[in-house]
Amino acid sequence: MNAPLPPASIQRPAPPALLDALAQRFGEHFSTAQAVREQHGRDEGSISAPPPAGVVFAQSTQDVQDAVRLAAAHDTPVIAYGAGSSLEGHLLAVQGGISLDVSRMNQVLSIDADDLTVTVQPGITRKALNEAIKHTGLFFPIDPGADASIGGMAATRASGTNAVRYGTLRENVLALQVVTANGEVIRTGTRARKSSAGYDLTRLMVGSEGTLGIFTEVTLRLYPLPEAVSAAICSFPSIEAAVRTVIQTIQLGVPIARVELIDIHSVRVVNAYSKLGLREEPMLLMEFHGSPASVQEQAETVQQIASEWGGKAFEWATTPEERSRLWAARHNAYFAAVQSRPGCKAISTDTCVPISRLADCLLDSVAEADASGLPYFLVGHVGDGNFHFGYLLDPQVPAERELAERLNQQLVARALAMGGTCTGEHGVGIHKMGFLLDEAGEGAVQMMRAIKQALDPKNILNPGKIFSL
């Protein structure tokens, strides 16, 4: 049993005339095959919906323009599709329509190494981007875990494990080329690091989840590859001790690159899944970037802080192979947890709170999850106050889904009361529409609706997401 599909305001099936026009314009790059449609009608989340009526495989900005213009002429929704790795129903055709797949628009268009920028097409994935630019000595640091497309990452304002040092997509997108709802091409931003010229349309588009425009070019900040990288793991007697170590590290201004929390449940399932022998206690995984001297100084500072909170079993790694081994626990946590309960589904949360409230929010939420009896695991990019519960439920037992959703609702309410947010990195999509209203308030959401209606009066760009009209 998948999560129920929230009611859509209008069902807008694609008319045969549109499908014929798309087939004529795109030929073999347009498909109405059931298997192709179903592939483009699901993401990594647990919400299900009917597939789109057809799929356009765009290869150029002109392709995107033409597809949007044809859809607009027939008042039919268009849903942009990249790698399909979203979690909140972003790419589901909840009001019908066509899927616009930009994964074949995957080229690096220009590298400006002197300015530390790169311009890419939206379909390139983050791993492919870093492979393409590694000869420059630069890298793109945003790592949401999945090998997501850059366009999708920008659309959801993604972040991930490196955000504590390098920020999110909000800070790292400098400029965009966007196809609007009427098929016009606009550019927002420049390669300059700052500007005071007019409204900040780049920031408006980043995080708009495909509801205001479809990206066809993205200009990103790059960073020099660090001279030295060191990773470490450390076990703690409690989650509170681990979190207090993180809080003190951040408040002291230590420029740690990554700091991930793994709870005891995650360690246990990873040990079983990957045949590891990690101490079955809450654990921090850390990474330090910089010069050899600065990396050593950072590591020694954090080790001293950790020891004050009972941290033990420190293990350091400096070679890529050693670091990969240490990070295996974090990278495999989701798959290990899902396999620990065969046939289960994982409902993942992504609240984020101010760092000073992290311990309170986490400890109260852990107590609540323990009391529920529902299996779960906990991981988090705790350096910036962001963490994920994965509630493991039997999809054939509606009561378990209801329990997981109730735990999620209570967690979000707690985070909002502490000055946090309902989504630190996954985006709103369908699943968090009610939470957005709780967080932002009716006035702010109404302003968002006004922007949407002004830029997309026919409501054809990914309708039924973020908020209802």
C-alpha pair distances (Å), 319 with each of 139, 229, 325, 326: 18, 8, 10, 11
Calpha distance 451→354 (Å, rounded): 29
CATH top class, domain 228-417: alpha beta
The pTM of this model reads: 0.93
The residues of the chain that CATH labels 3.30.465.10 are 108-224
Amino acid 1: pLDDT: 39
Tally DSSP H helices, then E strands, for the chain: 17, 18
The letter for the amino acid at 444 is A
Q: Which residues are registered as beta bridge partners of 218?
A: 120, 176
CA 283 to chain centre: 23
Calpha distance 380→160 (Å, rounded): 9
The residues of the chain that CATH labels 3.40.462.10 are 228-417
Asked if 43 and 348 touch (Cβ cutoff 8 Å), the reply is: no
Antiparallel, parallel or unpaired: β 283-290 and 214-221? unpaired
List the one residue out of 162, 159, 154, 157 whose CA is nearest residue 218: 154
Q: Which residues are registered as beta bridge partners of 118?
A: 111, 220
Q: Which residues are registered as beta bridge partners of 376?
A: 391
In this structure, the number of other CB atoms found within 10 A of the CB of residue 176 comes to 24
Asked if 169 and 206 touch (Cβ cutoff 8 Å), the reply is: yes
Asked if 120 and 218 touch (Cβ cutoff 8 Å), the reply is: yes
Asked if 261 and 250 touch (Cβ cutoff 8 Å), the reply is: no
Q: Is CATH 3.10.580.10 the right assignment for the domain spanning 108-224?
A: no
Packing angle, helices 333-340 and 264-274, rounded to 10:
80
List the one residue out of 334, 331, 328, 332 whose CA is nearest residue 349: 334
Task: Reduce the DSSP state of residue 439 to 3 states and report it.
Answer: helix
Q: Which residues are registered as beta bridge partners of 120?
A: 108, 218
For the chain (469 residues), the mean pLDDT of every run of 10, in chain order, is 51 93 98 97 88 98 98 98 94 96 98 97 97 97 91 95 93 98 97 93 98 98 95 94 95 93 94 89 94 93 95 86 79 88 91 94 96 95 93 93 96 98 95 95 97 98 94
